[in-house]
Structure 1
Amino acid sequence: MKPKIFVTRKIYTEVLLELKKNCEVEIWDQEDVPVPRHILEEKIPHIDGLYCLLTENIDKKLLDEAKNLKIISNMAVGYNNIDISAATEKGILVTNTPGVLTETTADLTFALLMATARRIIEADRYLKEGHWKTWSPNLLTGQEIHGSNLGIIGLGEIGIAVAKRAKGFNMNILYYNRNRKHEVESSLGIHYADLNSLLKQSDFVCVLTPYTPETKNLIDKEQLRMMKKSAILINTARGGIVNENALYDALTSEVIWGAGLDVFEEEPVSLKNSLLALPNVVVLPHIGSASLNTRMEMARMAACNILQALNGEVPQNLINKELACT
């Protein structure tokens, strides 16, 4: 009998066909609507593998109902949507899709930085709404990018990729990370700084650190007040790392100049979120990895992880590695 897999969103046909060669596959095929909680609760006792996205909350209560589940394959790099401790306790492997989206997310991060600094979205809207009457010295002036100071919070693979792009703009780069990376400092000519120093010196602050209990509200009212009045905050990591209420206050009281956000505390973000009404904020619907090639590779990697696990192999991208020895 083939193992049973539940896929929580419509995925690429060729990836789905690969899964169906080896498994009995059921899919929630509504592309724009996350699978309802009650459907997950209904399916979880009967499946061997769960292929999910970061939109699904795989918590202890849900996992307590898993009778045969061997593998949770998350089609994302981050996995804060899964209770890893609860999964490990039950002997359930958890995997993610790291590496493949590094360059694409770095592209988006730098694009968001540039769009915010040079007021690209605002200028596009200004022209299309018929406000452009003449050239003016003060029309839609933004912040300089080349030669400015960039502070990177979280120097993982994506942080390093962003730093490489920034070097092309002759930016001076500071980074804050849990561990210093002397080799990267040497190869890229970047400098380590504590968080407070980075915030005070940077013209742009890019948040690229994972979301953990320690990084929740890492950027709050106090941290925002350390930044330059001309500074721009970019967040392409996770929404909960930045306190949105504090950010709104900082933007409306001119504590900082602007912000570019690809992520929010609650997603999809409510249209009532006050940040969406601010002209000095560029907002995106969590599209950091959204290139056709990258999303296909993520889907393939997630499928490979689940097939390896169900074949009795140790998945290449195992998160709870302690289970590899059991």
Structure 2
Amino acid sequence: MAAAADRFDVTCRDSTQPMDLAECRDALAGADVILPTLGDAFGAEAFTGAIRAKGLANFGVGYNHIDVDAARAAGLAVANTPGAVTDATADIAMTLILMTARRAGEGERLVRAGAWRGWHPTQMLGLHVTGKTVGIVGMGRIGQAVARRCRAGFGMEVLYWNRRPKPVEDARQVDSLADLCAASDVVVMAVAAAPETRHLMDAAALAAMRPHAVLVNIARGDVVDEAALIEALRAGRIGGAGLDVYEEEPHVPDALMGCENAVLLPHLGTAALEVREAMGRMALDNAIAIAEGRAPPNPV
């Protein structure tokens, strides 16, 4: 923020809640550059009024809250912060894989409730991760970082499904999402949010998963059909789910919170100070370039 103030006359919102449509329109009319983030309402309707801004330097790699085509049609550049978030998000994927497979969330709740009665040979048996097969949906920077961790740290076989052919060392691309789900013990959603990936993990894909398999989502909430997931968890058709994102953040359905076989985190993917600072510096570099009429270093 200090670096931004050295370069710009900065307006900082007091609220941490997403900007609504009126706020987005006001920002577009009054600022030269905007640094939006997750949930800010920069849909197509935001760009129908007066616009002074030259661009949106998004704070974050995901930008499904921005209608990029509408922004470009209105003459705005759009940039994001890839790279800075890769390792931290992959680390959260591993956290969720282990917590879900080994039932760590259930175990902690048991201890905190004072209900643990001591060790015994069949207490809370979970899925042994080492040597299993992980299927990664979306093999971009984050997907590849997850693959490296799974392969090198846990000796896992790595399969992946990508929207386009993409060779990745020591991993095997499969032809369909259904094939990936059927062959994997752990399925990790790392695909970019886009209209064509909404509810990509739907009831049919969940039905293709093995009964013991776990689903992890570190992408965006709407790439998973949340209602179908709740049904699969309640019926025991999959082993569990580890989620860092939700369809209607910050709302989490009561039915999902009631699933003991779900691990639920409050969107912690990049929640480390050095990572958020790196994201901010990258967003600021993009903002300065936009203000100076240059192409941003990280255009969408």
Calculate the TM-score normalised by the size of structure 2.
0.96
Matches within 5 A, 1:1-326: 16-31=1-16, 33-167=17-151, 168-182=153-167, 184-185=168-169, 189-194=170-175, 195-270=177-252, 272-319=253-300
1:177 deviates by 0.6
- CA distance in structure 1 between the aligned counterparts of 2:164 and 2:19, rounded to whole angstroms: 38
CA contact (8 A) 1:96 1:317 kept: yes
CA contact (8 A) 1:72 1:93 kept: yes
CA contact (8 A) 2:21 2:46 kept: no
1:66 deviates by 3.8
Quick one: structure 1 residues 177 and 43, their matched pair in 2 at CA, closer, same or farther if it must change by over 3 Å? closer
Please, which runs of 5 or more residues in structure 1 have no aligned partner? 1-15, 320-326
Map Cα deviations across residues 140-188 of structure 1 (whole Å, 9 max, x no partner): 1111100111000001011111011111201111000122222x23xxx
Q: Secondary structure at the match of 2:159?
A: strand
Map Cα deviations across residues 284-314 of structure 1 (whole Å, 9 max, x no partner): 1111111111111001111111011101221
- CA distance in structure 2 between the aligned counterparts of 1:237 and 1:101, rounded to whole angstroms: 12
Quick one: structure 1 residues 293 and 177, their matched pair in 2 at CA, closer, same or farther if it must change by over 3 Å? same
CA contact (8 A) 1:112 1:260 kept: yes
- CA distance in structure 2 between the aligned counterparts of 1:215 and 1:163, rounded to whole angstroms: 21
Map Cα deviations across residues 191-224 of structure 1 (whole Å, 9 max, x no partner): 1112221110100000000111111111111111
CA contact (8 A) 1:28 1:35 kept: no
Please, which runs of 5 or more residues in structure 2 have no aligned partner? none
1:36 deviates by 4.1
**Deviation beyond 2 Å, 4+ runs, structure 1:** 33-44, 179-182
1:35 deviates by 3.4
1:134 deviates by 2.4
CA contact (8 A) 2:20 2:41 kept: no
1:34 deviates by 3.0
Q: Secondary structure at the match of 1:24?
A: coil
- CA distance in structure 2 between the aligned counterparts of 1:54 and 1:66, rounded to whole angstroms: 23
CA contact (8 A) 2:214 2:239 kept: yes
1:273 deviates by 3.4
Q: Percent identity?
A: 38
One-letter amino acid matched to 1:127: V
Q: Secondary structure at the match of 1:260?
A: strand
46-55 vs 110-119, greater mean Cα deviation: 46-55
